[in-house]
């Protein structure tokens, strides 16, 4: 590969540089850009044709000019040196140390875009992760190798929730090596510090790798950050046999950067200006979770995204939901009423739940109890809005039972402390206590045997 430097930048538009007279730019190859003041930046080839290359710059274009900016094509795609010395380290959004430590040197330098795991090589995720949070463990069970995002909104306590999951998550009956990889895109330094502190306090920091792109850092880096995090996670999971939890926050900022590049390229915009290929692009991030047959490690992903306007049909939440294996949805209404964690179980879902629960995993009545609580809570909530119009007096006797159940479900089941680590047995006990208030004939989702075993109407009344 010729290491020629080009000075033929003819146009700068947003984060894009247009170069003429370039013939050997490989598609998606890494680019090094030297500004007139000697500062260097990285970029990536987005489009290449005989005589013209379009380069996306990771960073700001401040100080860039046309005649003196030098551009070098590196002849390879973006790669990240990985090793287990990364544990306990903090990097910036492009993988450069920001903790004062040395750069990572390694002969293993995987391409950060990763490849698709062969569907035939995947192993089915089926190990129950107990997060200690009732509305997740009983209602939307997380399993190892799953990708389960948190749909949140500005000002909701998603960081507390994720930190709590990271603190409490365990696979029952197992002591295995685990790691946390954290990819921050556009987080405030306060939020980043919250996580660092929390990891420090629990001693998790030495098992963690952090890639931080903060709110005041170049938005273009955010396209790279999650890929750095996942490349590291893949190395730890599939070469080092670790169970890796990847937290990506905030995916909304990532998507915004994607939109910025797309509009600079004058592409036909899709919904709300996001590019039409955003589904495919997001899948190249989210699908990098899972288990592989014959490998010990796993990658579990918890991406966080804030839904603009709390709108679950917004393209970012919508496309994410179409790719991930469920979602945990936070509710402003519950938050306002002081419920922590304010998880609205109705729109929440874990698609891999069935693989992880039941006899020998959690308990054999798990599925039925969860389904019954869903149905009952949904009915109670409907009645709540009905009684707001017609008054509670216009409801039937049974309706009032459901109305009360919905309240108790939020107060006694969903609500818990930030440091309260409930077991699945605790969750089931609370679940049955609530269900025991219902007429026995209504419990159609639970098998008869379990009703005989756990349904105790006397125990239901005191509260």
Partner 1 sequence: MGIIVKISGPVVEAEQMRDAKMYDVVRVGEEGLIGEVIRLAGKRVAIQVYEDTAGIKPGEKVENTGAPLSAELGPGLATSIFDGIQRPLPVIKDRVGDIIKRGVFAEALDKKKKWKFVPSVKRGEKVETGDVVGTVQETASTLHKVLVPSGVSGEISEISDGSFTVEEPVFAVKGAGGTKRLPMMQRWEVRRPRPYAQKLQPNRPLVTGQRVIDAFFPVARGGSACIPGPFGSGKTVTQQQLAKWADADVVVYVGCGERGNEMTEVLTTFPELEDPRNKRPLMDRTILIANTSNMPVAAREASIYTGITIAEYYRDMGYAVALMADSTSRWAEALREISGRLEEMPGEEGYPAYLGRRLAEFYERAGSVVTLGKGKKEGSVSVIGAVSPPGGDISEPVSQNTLRVTRAFWGLDASLASRRHFPSINWLTSYSLYKDVLADWYSANVSADFMEMQSKSMLILQQEAELQEIVQLVGPDALPERERAVLDAARMIREDFLQQSAYHEVDTFTSMKKDRMMLKVILTFHDLELKAVESGIPLSKVLSLDVRGRIGRMKEIPEDAAQADITKLLDDTEASFKSLAPEMQAGATEGAR
Summarize as ranges the residues that interact with ligand ATP (CB under 6 A). 322, 349, 351
Closer of 351 and 408 to ligand ATP (Cβ): 351
User: What are the strands of the beta sheet with 178-187, ordered from one edge?
Assistant: 90-92, 208-214, 178-187, 243-249, 298-306, 150-152, 326-330, 343-350
Size of the site for partner 1 (CB under 8 A): 84
Task: Please name the residues in contact with 163: beta carbons below 8 A apart, sequence gap of 6 or more.
Answer: 194, 195, 198
Only segment of 35-43, 188-196, 215-223, 342-350 that touches partner 1 (CB under 8 A) = 342-350
Which one of residues 367, 403, 435, 460 is an interface residue with partner 1 (CB under 8 A)? Answer: 367
Beta-bridge partners for 6: 71
Neighbours of 203 (CB within 10 A): 8
Closer of 64 and 112 to partner 1 (Cβ): 112
Task: Based on the shown chain and the rule CB under 8 A, indicate whether residue 335 belongs to the binding site for partner 1.
Answer: no
Only segment of 62-70, 215-223, 368-376, 413-421 that touches partner 1 (CB under 8 A) = 368-376
Only segment of 7-15, 211-219, 247-255, 371-379 that touches partner 1 (CB under 8 A) = 371-379
Comparing CA positions, the residue from 91, 63, 78, 67 lying closest to residue 32 is 78
The CA distances from residue 436 to 364, 400, 458, in Å, are: 18, 15, 8
The number of C-alpha atoms within 13 Å of 40 and in the hemisphere containing its C-beta is 7
| DSSP, residue by residue, 64-115 | --TTT-EEEEEEEE-B----GGGTT-EEETTS-BSSS-PPP--S---BTT--
Task: Based on the shown chain and the rule CB under 8 A, indicate whether residue 334 belongs to the binding site for partner 1.
Answer: no
Task: Based on the shown chain and the rule CB under 8 A, indicate whether residue 301 belongs to the binding site for partner 1.
Answer: no
Task: Based on the shown chain and the rule CB under 8 A, indicate whether residue 122 belongs to the binding site for partner 1.
Answer: yes
Q: How far is the CB of 374 from partner 1 (least distance, A)?
A: 4
d(CA 244, CA 248): 13
Q: How far is the CB of 371 from ligand ATP (least distance, A)?
A: 8
Closer of 98 and 445 to partner 1 (Cβ): 445
Residue with tokens 């100080």: 63
Task: Based on the shown chain and the rule CB under 8 A, indicate whether residue 120 belongs to the binding site for partner 1.
Answer: yes
Task: Based on the shown chain and the rule CB under 8 A, indicate whether residue 50 belongs to the binding site for partner 1.
Answer: yes
Apex CA 376: angle with CA 451 and CA 129, to 5°?
75
Q: How far is the CB of 27 from ligand ATP (least distance, A)?
A: 30
Q: Are 113 and 319 in contact (CB under 8 A)?
A: no
Q: How far is the CB of 328 from partner 1 (least distance, A)?
A: 12
Task: Please name the residues in contact with 371: beta carbons below 8 A apart, sequence gap of 6 or more.
Answer: 445, 446
Residue with tokens 């309240």: 407
Name the binder of 287 from partner 1, ligand ATP, none, CB < 5-8 A by kind: partner 1
Q: How far is the CB of 247 from ligand ATP (least distance, A)?
A: 22
Closer of 134 and 350 to ligand ATP (Cβ): 350
Closer of 28 and 189 to partner 1 (Cβ): 28
Only segment of 96-104, 218-226, 395-403, 416-424 that touches partner 1 (CB under 8 A) = 395-403
Q: How far is the CB of 295 from partner 1 (least distance, A)?
A: 8
The number of C-alpha atoms within 13 Å of 261 and in the hemisphere containing its C-beta is 28
Q: How far is the CB of 412 from ligand ATP (least distance, A)?
A: 25
Which one of residues 18, 32, 34, 47 is an interface residue with partner 1 (CB under 8 A)? Answer: 47
Q: How far is the CB of 95 from partner 1 (least distance, A)?
A: 18
Q: Are 342 and 160 in contact (CB under 8 A)?
A: no
Binders in 153-192 for partner 1, by CB under 8 A: none
Q: How far is the CB of 66 from partner 1 (least distance, A)?
A: 23
Residue with tokens 């749909």: 151
Which one of residues 60, 121, 177, 193 is an interface residue with partner 1 (CB under 8 A)? Answer: 121
């Amino acid at each position: 590969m010729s290491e020629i430097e080009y000075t033929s930048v003819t146009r700068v538009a947003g984060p894009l540089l247009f170069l003429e007279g370039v013939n050997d730019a490989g598609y998606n190859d890494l680019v090094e850009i030297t500004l007139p003041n000697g500062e260097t930046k990285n970029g990536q080839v987005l489009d290449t044709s005989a005589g013209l290359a379009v380069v996306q710059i990771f960073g700001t274009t401040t100080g860039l000019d046309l005649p003196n900016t030098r551009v070098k094509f590196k002849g390879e795609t973006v790669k990240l040196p990985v090793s287990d010395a990364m544990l306990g380290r903090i990097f910036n959004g492009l993988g450069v140390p920001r903790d004062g430590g040395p750069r990572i040197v390694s002969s293993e330098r995987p391409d950060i875009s990763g490849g698709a795991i062969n569907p035939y090589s995947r192993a089915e995720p089926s190990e129950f992760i107990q997060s200690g949070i009732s509305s997740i463990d009983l209602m939307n069970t997380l399993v190892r190798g799953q990708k389960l995002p948190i749909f949140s909104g500005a000002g909701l306590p998603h960081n507390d929730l994720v930190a709590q999951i990271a603190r409490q998550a365990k696979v029952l009956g197992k002591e295995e090596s685990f790691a946390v990889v954290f990819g921050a895109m556009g987080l405030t330094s306060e939020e980043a510090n919250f996580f660092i502190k929390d990891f420090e306090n629990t001693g998790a920091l030495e098992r963690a790798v952090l890639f931080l792109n903060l709110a005041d850092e170049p938005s273009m880096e955010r396209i790279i950050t999650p890929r750095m995090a996942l490349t590291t996670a893949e190395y730890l999971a599939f070469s080092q046999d670790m169970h890796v939890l990847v937290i990506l926050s905030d995916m909304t900022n990532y998507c915004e950067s994607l939109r910025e590049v797309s509009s600079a390229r004058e592409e036909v915009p899709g919904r709300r200006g996001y590019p039409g290929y955003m589904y495919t692009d997001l899948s190249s991030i989210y699908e990098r979770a899972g288990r592989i047959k014959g490998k010990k490690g796993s990658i579990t992903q918890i991406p966080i995204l804030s839904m603009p306007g709390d709108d679950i049909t917004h393209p970012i939440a919508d496309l994410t939901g179409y790719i991930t294996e469920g979602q945990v949805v936070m509710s402003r209404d519950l938050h306002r009423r002081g419920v922590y964690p304010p998880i609205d179980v109705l729109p929440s879902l874990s698609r891999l739940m069935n693989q992880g629960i039941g006899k020998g995993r959690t308990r054999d009545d798990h599925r039925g109890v969860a389904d019954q609580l869903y149905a009952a809570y949904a009915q109670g909530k409907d009645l709540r809005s009905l009684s707001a119009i017609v008054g509670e007096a216009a409801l039937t006797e049974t309706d009032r039972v459901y109305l009360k159940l919905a309240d108790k479900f939020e107060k006694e089941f969903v609500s818990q402390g930030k440091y309260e680590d409930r077991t699945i047995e605790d969750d089931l006990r609370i679940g049955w206590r609530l269900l025991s208030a219902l007429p026995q004939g209504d419990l159609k989702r639970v098998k008869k045997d379990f009703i005989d075993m756990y349904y105790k109407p006397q125990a239901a009344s005191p509260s």
